[in-house]
Chains A and B, each alone.
Chain A
Amino acid sequence: MAVVSIKNKLRRGNLLVGNDPYIPTDFESIATTTVGSTSVANIEFTSIASTYTHLQIRLINLSSSAGTNLELRFNSDTGNNYDTHWLYGSGSSATAGAATNLDYVWAAGAGSSTAPAGVVVDILDYRNTNKYKTVRTLGGYDTNGGGYIYFTSGLWRNTNAITSLKITCNANFNQYSQVALYGIKVAS
């Protein structure tokens, strides 16, 4: 049985001289991309630091075609090394499904040109070389008469540490779309 007894782990401080140094939280911003006036198909984060244990992506996406795929790929792997599963609400029914041996993980459907998709992606143990990489996503968009709410997951069948990730929108990330990458630490 794995049991961890926890010592009181308080970290307090401010920047006044003589006080303890300020210690950041264990949830940190790594990088952010905001799309300018020219839409783009891909947003990529490279040279991802090995400082963290988990990653979280938080994004909004505006595109030219609502519902188009938002796809994730890792370490420039474009082979059929990905699987994905989904559970979503279409506004009329709850649907589950799967697709295997894809060249991407499906994260969610894109937003429309005015109704942004909001998506939160969690990738746990992204540097662990004993594990394939499991992705878990909550996202969706509503267009006032249409839209979907998604819960999706994916598997990248590779034990390499993730050092880069690319998010592709098949209908492009339009201006004002934003993708933010966060790192989460574990207890030392």
Chain B
Amino acid sequence: MAITYEPIATTTLGSAQSSVTFSSISGSYTDIILVINAKANTGTANIVWEVNSDTGTNYSYTYVNAEPGGVTASGRASSTASPYLNFYGYLDTTWGNWIAHFMNYSNTTTYKSVLARFNNSNNGTGANVGLWRSTSAITQIKIKTSANNFDTGSTFTLYGIKAA
């Protein structure tokens, strides 16, 4: 019987660093789920995703979130080279988690949508949908900070979900 839900790769940081890259991602799954459990080594940062080494302005995203002060908000960024997995709900020195679903990531016929939940009880929570305007299969995912570093002990795990 085919395995429906299985781990692909995982990284735990032994020292602070600004990015983690998963390369040579198998195309044998339908969706990928990225689970990040992290905090910043200092200060704050947004968590930025990049695929297939594409540093062009081929990304965009729309978000909704809860912010400090009882505020709710929604916004978007278009034609950006730095798509966030969050807006509030950013990285700071509080442990948080970010869960992103790369939907139908390996097809070569559609642009790619990414559904994300971001969770930092200290500064925000919400959801985000991103778009990579390419029909290429995603074979590499890079997660990076907009500033500062992911702290030691931060973990990044890819899981694959395979449809029948």
Contacts and interface: CB of A to CB of B under 8 A. Distances in A.
B62 A25 contact: no
A42 to B, nearest CB: 19
A178 B163 contact: yes
Contact of A24 (B3, B30, B107, B109): B3
A47 to B, nearest CB: 14
Interface of B: 1-6, 30-31, 60-65, 72-76, 78-79, 101, 103-104, 107, 109-115, 117, 126-131, 133, 161-164
Contacts of A151: 64, 127
Contacts of B115: 118-120, 138-140
**Interface residue range, chain A:** 35 or more
A60 interface: yes
Interface stretch (A1-9, A108-116, A127-135, A161-169): A108-116
A2 to B, nearest CB: 27
Contacts of A25: 3-6
A154 interface: no
Contacts of B6: 25
Contact of A138 (B60, B75, B117, B163): B117
Given A62-B110, A149-B64, A120 B163 contact: no
